[in-house]
Every structure is written in structure tokens, then in C-alpha cells.
Structure 1
């Protein structure tokens, strides 16, 4: 079993993390932007991974690897209101599609997109 988190702040920064039942965990700092309507760009800047302990969010207790990261992920998205399973209250949700492109650490550069995030605060 795995779970993940994504936090996108209005100033164009954020973080993402994941953890699994085998106590693997990772956390990354990101910058983000919307270079065009309905497109989300996440640029990873730093990542740490290792062994974690359960919690909300999980905590890394042993770091196996950490340092700068240069992963760039682009995906299409929509924002909508939906009611999650096992709940009666509707929430605003961001539904991202399968990443359209990736670049960094041995991956080919993304064609047709400027380098560096174009931040639009408040999106």
C-alpha cells in the first residue's frame, strides 16, 4: 500500500511526498507553474528518500539518499468539485492526467517548453 501528498503554494513553491507500508518514504521540494491553460509543470529541486515511520505526514528517520533534483514533470489537469468516496461533503479537487513529459537525470529535454517555471500565483 502506498500514499502520496502534493502541496502547491500560491507563491509557486511546494512539496510532494510518498510513503509505503514497507516503511519506504520520500519527500521533495518543488516549484510549479502553469505554462499554458490546463497544463501543470512541476520542477523538482531537492529530494530525500529513505526509511520512514507512519504518521500524517510520515517522517523520514533514516535518509539513504538526499540532494539536488532536476526532474521536470508536465501534465494536463482540471479543477472540479467532487464528493470523495466514504464522504458526503463535496471538495475542490485537482485531477491530473498521466504526465505528458519528463526531463532530468538522464531523461531527454522537454521540447517546446521554456526552461524554468512560469509561475502564476494563486492557481
Structure 2
């Protein structure tokens, strides 16, 4: 004789907890605060990234041995090492910009700095891969 198998009753899912209005507000406030903090952290990370800007032309700066800019009225710089020498005049604050030499430089150059009386003040070698060069004279 066969016995009839009795089926077990199906499990009934528990009803979801109802969230009180006050708890819902606190939960929403916490989520909003968390999202705000994440946005601030992302903005802070973005600010830390540094965009590297290069000077587009070679710049030579003349300073005193103490590092202060020199008065270079009438001074000139002659850059050699490329196909032909390039001459440029200093501004009043010890800075000369060579308009035909792009950076980063591919080769090393030799710079001769002359004062207003055309006397050579100094001669230096500028290594390759430079945007600027500081001469202490």
C-alpha cells in the first residue's frame, strides 16, 4: 500500500519592515552626506593633479652669486651649437628669450653672455633637455 505524500506548506516571505518617516529622513540625510563627501574627495583628488606646462622657447636667466636678478641693460647673449649662432638681448631683469630655439632642447648649446661694453662676462654650456638655464655671474 502506498502512502500519500503530504506536501509541506510553502514558505511565506516575511513582510518587509516598514521604515518610519523619521528613520527614512535620517537615512536619506546620511546618504546625501556620504555622496557629498565622495564628491569633495573626488574634487580634492582632481586638484592635486598637476598639469606640466613647458616654456615654448629657451630662456636664460642671469643672477648674482646670491641668486638675485642682475641689472642687464644692454647685455646680449650668443647661443652657439646649432646650425648658426643666435643672438638675443636681455631685458632689464636678467632674462633673455631665444625666439628660434624650441624646448625641450635636443642638443647642448654654449651661451656667451656679454655686457653693455661688449665684454664677455661668462661662457657656459647648456645641457640638452632644458627649458631654461640659470647663470650665476
Do they fold alike, i.e. is TM over 0.5?
A: no
TM-score bracket for the superposition, by shorter chain length: under 0.3
Which structure shows the bigger proportion of residues in helix conformation?
A: 2
When the two structures are superposed, what TM-score results if normalisation uses the length of structure 1?
0.24
When the two structures are superposed, what TM-score results if normalisation uses the length of structure 2?
0.22
Which structure shows the bigger proportion of residues in strand conformation?
A: 1
Larger radius of gyration between Structure 1 and Structure 2: 2
